[in-house]
Amino acid sequence: MTAVDHPPAPWSGRDDGPGAAHLRWHSAISPFTPETPPGASVLVGFRSDEGVRRNKGRTGAATGPAALRQALSSMALPRPASVMDAGDIAVEDGDLESGQRRLGAAVTELLDAGHFVTVLGGGHEVAYASYLGIAAGAAVAAGARLGVLNLDAHFDLRADPTPSSGTPFRQMAEAEAAAGRALNYAVLGISQPSNTAALFETAAALGVRYRLDEDCTTGQLAGVRGFVEEFLAAVDVVYMTIDLDVLPASVAPGVSAPAAYGVPLEVLERVCDLVAGSGKLALLDVAELNPALDIDNRTARTAARLIHRIVTRHDVRLN
């Protein structure tokens, strides 16, 4: 993959013995090669916090991919799986736009080769890069209806002239309009105090469907399920992005903007199950892990559990 500028580092972790009975991520994963048969789950890292810096947030998310890999490494796999690591793309010298284009090219290449792609962020500027990848892919070119599901406390629809972690979905909407399409964008977990009236107005103008964090409690799972199922029914291929600040600060303290309320992990797991089991999920990314702000690797471990849950359920669907 010419777009990846840092090859994958070796994985290591707890070793209880050989064979499938003792299988963990570090013993199952291997470096990605172009000869990999279709159907693999492939990880790509995006070392960037330039978008967070531009958005005046707390930087440090560029080290997120390494922390996510470390948190995944000793997790036990329930069965053998085809999981691969394609390495990292790094944003350097403030050149966010070049990094986003290179990640987009890598994602397109992997998707068109028939793989399920998980991008390890990085700030939420990763979302526009992921979008570039799936929007340029063969499925969308053939007429598949793309849906973007964001698990996030924020709309990230800012109209700032300089792209940042606060603008990716506005950029997507503009790119879709230029292509003669409307962005099918839904957000679960919106925090009203964290989004201005102008952002709610922008969301309404763009036809964005959303559900507030206070409407995503464990007692409201039926409503959450209905929200996700309605979204899935209207699209053919899904890109899901998880901004870890959607979780309560007690669960995910290691983010630029910890949530005072947040969506319970149990609810997010049910959403992930629905999307992964739909047969429509092609691309996942996880954003905003800042290891320097984490406590006891709490945020990294929670993010890794969500990735693990999605990848293992997606693997069952494929096989």
156 known ligand binder:
yes
Give Cβ neighbours of residue 313 (< 8 Å, ≥ 6 apart). 272, 273, 276, 277
Record the tokens describing residue 157, joined without a space: 């629809």
Q: How many CB atoms lie under 10 A from the CB of residue 111?
A: 23
How does DSSP classify residue 18?
A: S
308 known ligand binder:
no
Give Cβ neighbours of residue 21 (< 8 Å, ≥ 6 apart). none
Q: What distance in Å separates the CA atoms of residue 211 and residue 183, rounded to the nearest whole number?
A: 17
152 known ligand binder:
yes
3-state helix, strand, coil in the chain (%, to 5): 45, 20, 40
* Cα-to-chain-centroid distance, residue 52: 16
Taking alpha carbons only, the member of 258, 273, 172 closest to residue 224 is: 273
112 known ligand binder:
no
Q: Which residues belong to the annotated binding site?
A: 124, 152, 154, 156, 243, 245
Q: Which residues belong to the annotated binding site for Mn(2+)?
A: 124, 152, 154, 156, 243, 245
